[in-house]
Structure 1
């Protein structure tokens, strides 16, 4: 286990949470759930038939002690779920909940919204698009955020930034061409995610090919509008731009290029890319040429915490994602 995942698991262990695993017949999911129990970071709730899940676990030498089961295949169980749901919410009918909860991911989202579980970990078999769609349609977005986004945490050997070798990057996985409201939401959600996970005071740089008006283009206007939205809606967040990458990260460059006082220039710890082209290229550049470790991506912007595994992710990486998920779930309930 590398140092970052160790740090996340130690922090998650301080306030363990109930985690729904809807893809409970996947062996890597079972191994991750086993690690969740052994590290003490949470309480796995496996969706499906206990007998089926335990048979797969036994065949693959997975210890299931500490697992809880929620069998969505039993109609009476789903009927009770539907009754409980319509007592609190009116966005779905009882009949719709009964029907939709036949799908384990949808069922997990209903359990999350009802606070039967604290968070949901999925995506090993379901696509990212499926996980996002089901979360959006049932759980919804947090207040002030226009769209779901992703945040990665980059650890670049030899980089000397305001937080050592690490910084946050967003959005590198979801929003192809965000408008000003989307960018503002990405910035707000990223600031909250980084503060929750790492305890940093967020300093958010909005990246562009221009620094403080050194170039003009309609795409830069979108970035400037996003900054104004954040200033108005979340004046507590330190955000500035538009900045070129070097102006955001290097104090000596910021001193030359930024003609005003800035709490962010030269010492940013969160970088917001203007679109998915830049984000995807950027994260791969730092991985290939900077030999960076990139953790995540963390899905953010939902009203309640959900994580999406890469289908090729090894169990250690999945455990790190779950640890970050647990920390965010605890924070949302006032956990420290």
Structure 2
């Protein structure tokens, strides 16, 4: 277990939150459920057929003691959620009859739980795509105030590394937005800074990455990063955000002293905001493979309430850790 995950577990155990898992009948989810309850990381709600969930759990030798199991087909909450979903979407043509059908989908049912405060956060993705998760999240929970886009970050723990916070850095966006606008990049920067505070307890120093440093190159792509930097600074003047910066200028002091000597961020950035998804996804995988880094994530950010995605190739341990991370986000949201 990484040092960061150890800290995340300890914080989750100290202030237990209620996390809903809409993939309640999925094997890895049930195995994770047992580990989460054994370690006191969260209170859990499983959504799905109660009969199927309990039979599968018994077959796996997983105890569901203390776990709430809700079946949208029989729960008394279904009518409440259908009415609420209808109110949220009636201007989009939603009918009560259709709303009743929609909220019986475990993902929509679980998202309504988070919306109405019946759960503090949601984790899904072992058998659903990112799009499956984002759709109800954006329709029901929506984005946080002042944030225009949901994005993702990876917390990178790089062994024997002097950069960032002794090898701890956040990379964004590496999984959600293919080609963010300047406004969206600004929101991604702010969201990732908040994630750095919540999960890592660090003071974020945010570098807006480009192939140019402080005007060294002229291009529309550079202009987008410049505009994003300006917008982010205007939105959150309390945060240390700077750019545009090349990667070496962002993290290497000698290069920063030469290329951006007046920057508070250059040479010591611990949050790296990539200009697009291609760069971010390639960048985190390069560091993961070449430097032997542990990539924790992707962690969703920007929702009004905590919702997190899983890889469909995830292990039960991955689910445990993402639930703990979601619990921390819920702790922060309740402040």
The answer to whether TM tops 0.5 is yes
Q: What does the per-residue CA deviation read over 1:286-308, in whole Å, with 9 as the maximum and x for residues that have no partner?
A: 11211111000101111110111
Cα distance change of structure 1 residues 240 and 13 upon mapping to structure 2, 3 Å threshold: same
Match of 1:62 in 2: 62
Matched, 1:293 2:286: no
Residues 49 and 70, structure 1, Cα contact 8 Å, conserved in 2: yes
Helix, strand or coil at the partner of 2:242: strand
Q: Distance in 2 between matches of 1:7 and 1:129?
A: 30
Distance apart, 1:99 and its partner CA? 2.0
Distance apart, 1:3 and its partner CA? 3.1
Match of 1:327 in 2: 328
Q: Distance in 2 between matches of 1:28 and 1:71?
A: 19
Which one of the candidate residues 152, 155, 171 is aligned to 2:154? Answer: 152
Task: Give the alignment's Cα RMSD to 1 decimal.
Answer: 1.6
Match of 2:73 in 1: 73
Match of 1:317 in 2: 318
Match of 2:9 in 1: 9
Gaps of 5+ in 1: none
Distance apart, 1:129 and its partner CA? 1.2
Helix, strand or coil at the partner of 2:126: coil
Cα distance change of structure 1 residues 248 and 135 upon mapping to structure 2, 3 Å threshold: same
Distance apart, 1:100 and its partner CA? 1.1
Residues 124 and 309, structure 1, Cα contact 8 Å, conserved in 2: yes
Q: Distance in 1 between matches of 2:170 and 2:76?
A: 45
Q: What does the per-residue CA deviation read over 1:222-247, in whole Å, with 9 as the maximum and x for residues that have no partner?
A: 11111111111111111001001011
Cα distance change of structure 1 residues 69 and 3 upon mapping to structure 2, 3 Å threshold: same
Residues 71 and 77, structure 1, Cα contact 8 Å, conserved in 2: no
Q: What does the per-residue CA deviation read over 1:225-272, in whole Å, with 9 as the maximum and x for residues that have no partner?
A: 11111111111111001001011001111001114x222111101000
Q: Distance in 1 between matches of 2:230 and 2:164?
A: 24
Match of 2:176 in 1: 174
Helix, strand or coil at the partner of 2:153: strand
Helix, strand or coil at the partner of 2:10: helix
Match of 1:130 in 2: 132
Helix, strand or coil at the partner of 1:255: helix
Distance apart, 1:95 and its partner CA? 3.8
Cα distance change of structure 1 residues 102 and 198 upon mapping to structure 2, 3 Å threshold: same
Give the ranges of 4+ consecutive aligned residues of structure 1 lying more than 6 Å apart after TM superposition. Answer: none
Q: Distance in 1 between matches of 2:116 and 2:98?
A: 16
Helix, strand or coil at the partner of 1:163: coil
Gaps of 5+ in 2: none
Distance apart, 1:131 and its partner CA? 0.5
Distance apart, 1:41 and its partner CA? 1.4
Residues 45 and 67, structure 1, Cα contact 8 Å, conserved in 2: yes
Cα distance change of structure 1 residues 162 and 289 upon mapping to structure 2, 3 Å threshold: closer
Helix, strand or coil at the partner of 2:243: strand
Distance apart, 1:86 and its partner CA? 6.8
Which one of the candidate residues 201, 212, 221 is aligned to 2:203? Answer: 201
Helix, strand or coil at the partner of 1:29: helix
Match of 2:278 in 1: 277
Q: Distance in 2 between matches of 1:132 and 1:244?
A: 31
Q: Distance in 1 between matches of 2:247 and 2:296?
A: 20
Cα distance change of structure 1 residues 81 and 174 upon mapping to structure 2, 3 Å threshold: closer
Q: Distance in 1 between matches of 2:98 and 2:50?
A: 25
Helix, strand or coil at the partner of 1:298: strand
